Amino acid sequence: MKFNTKTIHGGQKPEETTGAVMPPVFLTSTFAKTSPTEHKGFEYSRGGNPTRAALENSLASLENGTHGFAFASGLAAIDAVLRLLNPGDEIIAGDDLYGGSYRMFTKLFQKYGLEFSFVNMDDVTNITDAITENTKLVWIETPTNPLMKIADIKAISSAVKDVDSTILIGVDNTFATPYLQQPLDLGTDIVMHSATKYLGGHSDLIMGALVVKDKKLAEDIHFIQSAAGAIAGPMDSFLALRGIKTLHIRMQRHCENGIAVAKFLEKHPKVSQVYYPGLEKHPNYELAKSQMNGFGGMVSFRLKEETQEAAYAFLENTKIFTLAESLGGVESLSNHPITMSHGSMPEEQKQRVGITNSLIRLSVGIEDIEDILADLEQALKA
C-alpha cells in the first residue's frame, strides 16, 4: 500500500463478529476465558484491548514497523524506552529538545542512575565523540522543538552503529509524523510519537506511541507497557485511529499553510528570524528536503524586539491562533516556549540553546491561509 492508503487500511480489517468497518470501543476491563490458560486473544485490558490493538496495528503499518504500542501520553512512551536501560547506562540526546523530555531525563531518571549527555546533533561527530562503553541509547528529535533543527537520521544511525551496533537509536517523530519521515527505514530502532499532536489531530486526546521492528525489542516494550501500566484507554485509541484516517490530507494542508506562514514572517519588518526547514535560508534545508516528504506545519520565529512584553502583545492579540499548550491540531495554536513548553528547563539551558523571550512557536492549522496571514499581520501590529 502507498502511504495515503495505509492511513485508512493499514493493519486494519473489519471487526470479526459484526463486520463493523470501524473497530468498536471495547469498554471492558477483562475478558472471559474458557479455562485458566485459554482465552480468545485478550485477558485483561492493561495487557491488551481490541480497540488499542487496532490502533497499534495501524501505527506499525504507518511507520513500516512490525509492532506498535499505545501509551497514556508521549512522556509515558519515552518513560517506557528509558525503562529498557539500567543504572549506569548513558544516553546521548540533542541539546534542543522538548522541555518535558529534558525534565524527565534530568529530574526523574538521573536520580535513578541513568546519565545524560546533551549535544548539538548538527554534527554527527558530536554524537560519536560522546559515546562511551556505557552508552546504550541515542535519542534524536527531528525537527526539534522549538528551533526546528534537522538531524540526519541515516548518517547518525550509521555512524553510531559502526561504533557499537548494540546502542539503541530512538527518534521523536512527533513534529514530522510518518507522513513526512519514517525513521525505521533510515536505520533507527525505535520511533516515538506524542499521538496527542498530529496523529490524533483534533486536540481531544492525550496519547503516546512507540513503533519498532525488532521482535525481542517489541517483547521487552510490551512487558514494560503491561507491567508499568501506562496504557492508552480504548476511547482514546478509537479517537486516535479515527484521526489517523485523515492524517495524509491534514498534513498536506499543514505543509501548504506552514510554508506560506514562514515566507510571510520572513519578510515582516518586526521579525528578526524564522525557523522553518522549508525555507532555503534554513541551515538544514537540503537535508530536510532529502529526508522529509515536505516540511510540516510547525514554524518558530523571533521578534526583533527582545522583550517579554513584545511577545505577550503578539500572543494576546491573535484571533485565529489560540494561545495554548500543545500542537498538531486542525486549529492554529501559538506558544511562548520560554514560559510554556520549555518553562521547566533551567534558565541557563534555555539561554544556551536560544530559547529567549522573543521566541514564539506556531502550530499552523488547516484554516484558510488568508485568514491565518491576516491574523498574524494584525497581531504583529499590536
Nine-digit cell at 11? 493493519
Nine-digit cell at 131? 559515546
**Amino acid, single-letter form, for residue 353:** V
- Determine contact, residues 52/70, Cβ cutoff 8 Å: yes
Within 10 angstroms of residue 116's Cβ, the number of other Cβ atoms is 16
Look up residue 24 and give its DSSP letter.
Answer: P
Peptide bond into 146 cis (omega under 30): yes
Compute the distance between CA of residue 263 and CA of residue 248 in angstroms, rounded to an integer: 23
Compute the distance between CA of residue 183 and CA of residue 141 in angstroms, rounded to an integer: 11
Distant-in-sequence, close-in-space partners of 186: CB < 8 Å, separation ≥ 6: 153, 154, 157, 291
Nine-digit cell at 228? 508499568
- Determine contact, residues 156/124, Cβ cutoff 8 Å: yes
φ, ψ for residue 366, nearest 5 deg: -110, 20
Task: With residue 264 as reference, give the H or E element that holds it.
Answer: helix 247-266
Quick one: which of 16, 24, 20, 18 has its CA closest to 241? Answer: 24
| Angle formed at CA 226 by CA 220 and CA 227, multiple of 5 degrees | 85
Alpha-carbon separation of residue 346 from 101, 103, 352 (angstroms): 13, 9, 10
Q: Supply the residues annotated as catalytic.
A: 46, 98, 172, 197
**Amino acid, single-letter form, for residue 328:** G
E-assigned strands of 96-189?
Answer: 115-119, 135-141, 168-172
